[in-house]
């Protein structure tokens, strides 16, 4: 059956200005880091994408290595874009990134012009697109001159392979330098994608101030701390969780008794607010005007629907904020 998007898809989503640009992004964006690879069930992620678009999510975040296997998320997204979303490309912001290992040899990683240009060409072929809306450098490269990496982003935009340039995982000082270089080149930095959650607060050490000062958007990833800020860990580590899998990004050693105590205390505040812990964690990020959009993942449509309810209440009282900071030890 042909997918027909909801006629009300723009009525309930909040759209926020991305820095000083002409672009607005939905308060919630969908990341395809997990759950959209060849190892996953297409009918499941197809329904997730349908629900996202029906709910006003217009920003879809990919990278060259998303899968698994690497590249398969872009392939699958490209197929559904062609099969289900034909005619709706101009209603979407589609992004990709390069900066982590993608292929063997010295040109398949980090931040050289050779790697970034080649990687985006591959991404465009996988998605069967002429251009992406945003192309990010995925992480700083300690060996390649920053100028070369930023020149590559500028070149890619001038070639028409991306409309906007972004950076990800850059600390405040390097972000400032990158933003300055791009501005001088005439391709301003649109957005920064950092890891940010109640448990991951490094961006508050100067990066958010830099982005606000320079008029650059901010789209945090891992807002639920790899699942820690959900109901999943209230009673310890479940066997099917990421923390239980030693190969995952969340290690068992990180889920200490102290952390679980904090999660339970935060959950009590969430319940008092009429929210799940995950909904409160997303709302907590959205309360900051410097945050343009929050990037979430979803393993199934129901999970996405639950996360979207965070927008029902993004206002926090001073008392609630103080309680949260006390629990997190940030008072």
Residues 30 and 48: their CA atoms lie apart, in Å, by 10
Query: For 99-140, what is each residue's pLDDT tens digit?
Result: 999 999 999 999 999 999 999 999 999 999 999 999 999 999
Mean pLDDT to the nearest integer, 250-279: 89
Query: Is there a contact between 235 and 277 (Cβ–Cβ < 8 Å)?
Result: no
For residue 251, the model assigns a pLDDT of: 60
CATH number for 15-226+285-311 (one of 1.10.357.10, 3.20.20.100, 1.10.3720.10, 3.20.20.20): it is 3.20.20.100
Residue 96, pLDDT > 50, answer yes
Q: Which residues lie closer than 8 Å to 112 by C-beta, 6 or more apart?
A: 141, 144, 148, 149, 152
Confidence of residue 234 (pLDDT cuts 50, 70, 90): confident
Residues 17 and 287: their CA atoms lie apart, in Å, by 15
Domain residue spans of the chain = 15-226+285-311
Structure token pair of residue 46: 């197809």
Mean residue pLDDT across the chain: 95
CB neighbour class for 247 (10 Å; exposed up to 12, middle 13-18, buried from 19):
exposed
Residue 319, pLDDT > 50, answer yes
For residue 238, the model assigns a pLDDT of: 64
* Inter-CA distances, 237 with 143, 231, 254, 300, Å: 39, 11, 11, 21
Give the angle subtended at the CA of 175 by the CAs of 194 and 117, to the nearest 5°: 85
215 dihedral zone (left: phi>0; alpha: psi -120 to 50; beta): left
Give the angle subtended at the CA of 197 by the CAs of 209 and 191, to the nearest 5°: 45
Query: Is there a contact between 298 and 35 (Cβ–Cβ < 8 Å)?
Result: yes
Mean pLDDT to the nearest integer, 307-327: 97
List 191's β-bridge partners, or say none: 166, 217
Structure token pair of residue 158: 């001038």
The pTM of this model reads 0.94
DSSP state of 101: -
142 dihedral zone (left: phi>0; alpha: psi -120 to 50; beta): alpha
Which range has the worst mean pLDDT, 12-21, 157-166, 249-258?
Answer: 249-258
């Amino acid at each position: 059956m042909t997918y027909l998007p909801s006629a009300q898809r723009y009525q309930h989503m909040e759209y926020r200005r991305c820095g000083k640009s002409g672009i607005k992004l939905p308060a919630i964006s969908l990341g395809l880091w997990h759950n959209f690879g060849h190892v996953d069930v297409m009918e499941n992620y197809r329904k997730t994408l349908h629900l996202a678009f029906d709910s006003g999510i217009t920003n879809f975040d990919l990278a060259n290595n998303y899968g698994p296997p690497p590249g398969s998320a872009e392939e699958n997204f490209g197929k559904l874009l062609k099969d289900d979303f034909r005619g709706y490309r101009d209603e979407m912001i589609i992004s990709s990134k390069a900066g982590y290992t993608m292929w063997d040899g010295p040109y398949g990683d980090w931040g050289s012009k050779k790697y970034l240009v080649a990687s985006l060409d591959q991404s465009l072929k996988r998605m069967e697109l002429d251009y992406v809306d945003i192309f990010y450098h995925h992480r700083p490269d300690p060996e390649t001159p920053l100028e070369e990496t930023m020149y590559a982003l500028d070149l890619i935009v001038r070639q028409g392979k991306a409309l906007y340039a972004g950076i990800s995982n850059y600390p405040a000082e390097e972000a400032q330098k990158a933003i300055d270089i791009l501005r001088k080149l005439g391709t301003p930095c649109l957005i920064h994608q950092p890891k940010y959650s109640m448990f991951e607060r490094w961006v508050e050490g100067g990066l958010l101030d830099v982005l606000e000062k320079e008029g650059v958007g901010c789209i945090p990833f891992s807002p639920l701390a790899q699942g820690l800020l959900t109901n999943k860990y209230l009673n310890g580590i479940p066997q099917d969780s990421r923390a239980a899998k030693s190969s995952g990004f969340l290690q068992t050693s990180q889920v200490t008794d102290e952390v679980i105590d904090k999660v339970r205390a935060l959950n009590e505040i969430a319940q008092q607010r009429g929210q799940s812990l995950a909904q409160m964690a997303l709302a907590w990020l959205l309360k900051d005007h410097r945050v343009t959009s929050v990037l979430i993942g979803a393993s199934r449509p129901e999970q996405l629907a639950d996360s979207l309810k965070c927008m029902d209440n993004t206002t926090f009282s001073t008392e609630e904020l103080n309680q949260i900071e006390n629990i997190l030890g940030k008072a």
